[in-house]
Amino acid sequence: MSNFGQMFIESNQPASYGRDRRIYYMNRDGFSLLAMGFTGKKALQFKLKYIDAFNQMEKQLQQQKPLSLPEQIGLIAKGYESLSADVEDIKNRMGLPSNMAHSFSKKRNAKIINVLGGKKSNAYRDKNVRAKTYRALFSSYRETFDQDRYNDLPMKDFDKAIDFVNNWYPPFELQQEIRRANAQLAIV
């Protein structure tokens, strides 16, 4: 049995927004363990192919004549090619894991606070203006990434989404509304 600690290795990688982000490397056993927990049509196909490959190898082992080395390599390569395509497809479709979703949310919230003029600004305290700003950002996000929820963003697009947030500004009319709100004197 593989050692769980060798399946997943934690590391850090510089992110496009300046700070290090936590990443995890995994070997093939780690990926198989993770993928077995996925649900959905593609995950089911992966699991069925995995079981089929296992059953084929078992059948080969039970035969009287052992496989030659080239036959063994061919069988492994055939299964690996199919699984590699499935792995790549899952990586491209899988939504953000919780740590990446949390990191994205923090970046998005910080951008909104900055655009509104800080937590003590009138625009931030005005729930209507704040809600409009969140809606405007989400509308632009949905149009850019063709996603109906932030967490559905494929992992491969995480850095693009962070860059999007860093470079996003509200539409002109909303910028004007934010300026008007912040120009008002607070009534004490």
DSSP 102-167: HHHHHHHHHHHHHHHT-TTSHHHH-HHHHHHHHHHHHHHHHHHH--SSGGGS-GGGHHHHHHHHHH
pLDDT in tens, 70-128: 777 777 777 666 666 776 776 666 777 788 888 899 999 999 999 999 999 999 999 99
Q: In 3-state terms, what secondary structure has residue 94?
A: coil
Tokens 């300026």 appear where? 179
Percent of the chain with pLDDT over 70: 84
Phi, psi angles (nearest 5°) of residue 39: -125, 165
Beta bridge partners of 13: 21
* pTM confidence score: 0.54
**pLDDT for 153-168, tens place per residue?**
888 888 999 999 999 9
